Amino acid sequence: MLRHDLTVALRRLLLQRFHTGVGVVVLTLGLVCFIAANLFVSYIRNYDRHWPNADRIYVVAERMRAADFGLSPVFDAGSDAPIADHLRVDVPELAAVARVRTQGTQLLTVGEQRLPFIVAYAEPDFAEIFELTPLAGEIGEALATPRSVVLTQQAAERLFGTFDVAGRTVTLIAQPPVDVTIRAVIADFPNQAHLNLRSIFARGYDVFVSWDVLETFERSQRMGWGGNAVTTYALLPADGSLTPKELNRRLARIAAERVPADYEFLEIALEARPVSTIAAMGLQKQFQGHWGTGVWIDVLAVLRAGAAAILALACLNFVNLAIAQASGRTVDVGTRKVLGATTLQIVRQDLLQSSVVVLLALLLALAAIVPLSQLLAASWSLSLELPWREPRFFAFLGATLVGVVLAAGLYPAFVLSRARRAAALRLGFASDTLA
């Protein structure tokens, strides 16, 4: 039966090439938008999930609001420098706390060679929170040793042509210049890590310098309250004795009790968020701006809803096209009913025909995403890579196929199945009269 229905469906589609082609194109455009949007949203929401202890790593997000502005600033992954010190005192249950200060582009020199790198200053616990992979040297105490530096593999190869450089000395051009010793070289971060310099909405670095070096020359106001100058990470205890809810309660108390009186004109809110949300926070900030708007808009939800609306519109256009075609098939359906076909059989066969069209459109949409991703910058193109190795991607495709078939084909199938036997009988009567 299925083989017969499929043969009939393919025959009809070939006989109606123009309508079939239009239907495939309409659905393909909708599916490209829908699949691409969902790939991007999934990519952003899966940042930093590769860390073995990702479920325990939190970043302190901060929001500063001036009451007179009347706006709703977004939470940002940046925070004020004193927060880490208060966390160590007020939340001693935390397994580790570390600040990272981005200094921007600085020069490292070796002999006559002088190259720019994105430098960050990191506290010792940073190496405990993030399980970095050493390629040379020992990472354990690297950032705890004064005047030390940890290089990524790419940075080491740019400077020396090899990553086996632990123990060598480089000069950091700061105020004043500082000689630092390379304690370890670590593997480059994965693409979906906010520490990767070349990933989107990230806070990436080439070089990590021990925190003591920063303290030798950084005395600016940015290291106090209101500067939003660092990223503060916290590692929850492995035994679950401290929950994210309790951590947020303690952070709220820090914001209420520890902010100096000089900053009372600012409403500072603190919230612990999973490390996997850093990229999403960066995207939200780009979308709504640092100071936000009067209305909160979830950019990822808007993107997914917009793509779903485009797909729904494509299905509606397909429905209109299918109904127009159905008006010319009334006699055909009436004849099949005269021969004994049931309404369910007619609906099933028409749905199978729609399924063939939707499947073809889905395959074309997947094929179109590959060249589409190549039009984007390298860091963005990664977000549209098709994850063929992930079972959930096939589940998503299956759900999409079924959903579109039902949305685009079910109503036309029922409209067509309502044709009556009398239509075929009238045609037969008219033919006899003309003879």
Identify whether residues 70 and 201 lie together within a single domain. Answer: yes
Contacts of 403 (CB under 8 A, 6+ apart): none
Tokens of 404: 């579109």
Identify whether residues 9 and 95 lie together within a single domain. Answer: no
Count of other CB atoms within 10 angstroms of residue 390:
12
Long-range contacts of 325-332 (CB under 8 A, 24+ apart): 325/16, 325/19, 325/412, 326/412, 326/415, 326/416, 329/416, 329/419, 330/419, 330/423, 331/419, 331/423, 331/424, 331/427
Q: Is position 107 within any domain?
A: yes
Q: What is the mean pLDDT of the segment spanning 12-29? A: 79
Q: Is position 174 within any domain?
A: yes
Euclidean distance between CA atoms 277 and 48, whole angstroms? 8
Identify whether residues 99 and 242 lie together within a single domain. Answer: yes
- Diameter of the chain measured on Cα atoms: 107
Identify whether residues 278 and 354 lie together within a single domain. Answer: no
Q: Is position 210 within any domain?
A: yes
- E strand segments, 73-158: 96-110, 113-122, 134-137, 148-152
Contacts of 402 (CB under 8 A, 6+ apart): none
Q: Is position 294 within any domain?
A: no
What are the two backbone dihedrals, phi and then psi, of residue 270, each rounded to the nearest 5 degrees?
Answer: -120, 140
Q: What is the dihedral of CA 26, 29, 32, 34, to 10 degrees?
A: -70
Identify whether residues 311 and 417 lie together within a single domain. Answer: yes
Identify whether residues 133 and 40 lie together within a single domain. Answer: no
Read off the pTM. 0.80
Helices (H), 68-210: 82-90, 126-129, 153-160
Q: Is position 348 within any domain?
A: yes
Query: Would you say residue 310 has pLDDT above 90?
Result: yes
Q: Is position 27 within any domain?
A: yes
Structural domain span for residue 216: 54-288
Q: What is the pLDDT of residue 204?
A: 81
Identify whether residues 8 and 77 lie together within a single domain. Answer: no
Q: β-strand 96-110 against 148-152: which pairing, if any? A: unpaired
Identify whether residues 142 and 278 lie together within a single domain. Answer: yes
Query: Would you say residue 427 has pLDDT above 90?
Result: no
Going by C-alpha positions, the residue among 124, 79, 75, 65 that lies closest to residue 222 is 79
Q: Is position 293 within any domain?
A: no
Euclidean distance between CA atoms 278 and 280, whole angstroms? 5
Going by C-alpha positions, the residue among 102, 180, 97, 109 that lies closest to residue 145 is 180
CB 148 within 8 A of CB 100: no
Tokens of 307: 């793509």
Q: What confidence tier does 423 reach under pLDDT thresholds 50, 70, 90?
A: very low
Domain boundary among 288, 308, 327: 288
Domain boundary among 267, 288, 309: 288
Q: What confidence tier does 111 reach under pLDDT thresholds 50, 70, 90?
A: confident
Q: What is the pLDDT of residue 334?
A: 56
Q: Is position 248 within any domain?
A: yes
Q: What is the pLDDT of residue 370?
A: 87
Identify whether residues 284 and 308 lie together within a single domain. Answer: no
Summarised one tens digit per residue, pLDDT across range 122-169 is: 999 999 999 889 999 988 888 999 999 999 999 999 999 999 999 999
Identify whether residues 317 and 356 lie together within a single domain. Answer: yes
**Domains in the chain: how many in total?**
2
Domain boundary among 288, 320, 348: 288
Identify whether residues 201 and 337 lie together within a single domain. Answer: no
Identify whether residues 40 and 81 lie together within a single domain. Answer: no
Contacts of 349 (CB under 8 A, 6+ apart): 5, 8, 9
SS3 114: strand
Tokens of 390: 């992930």
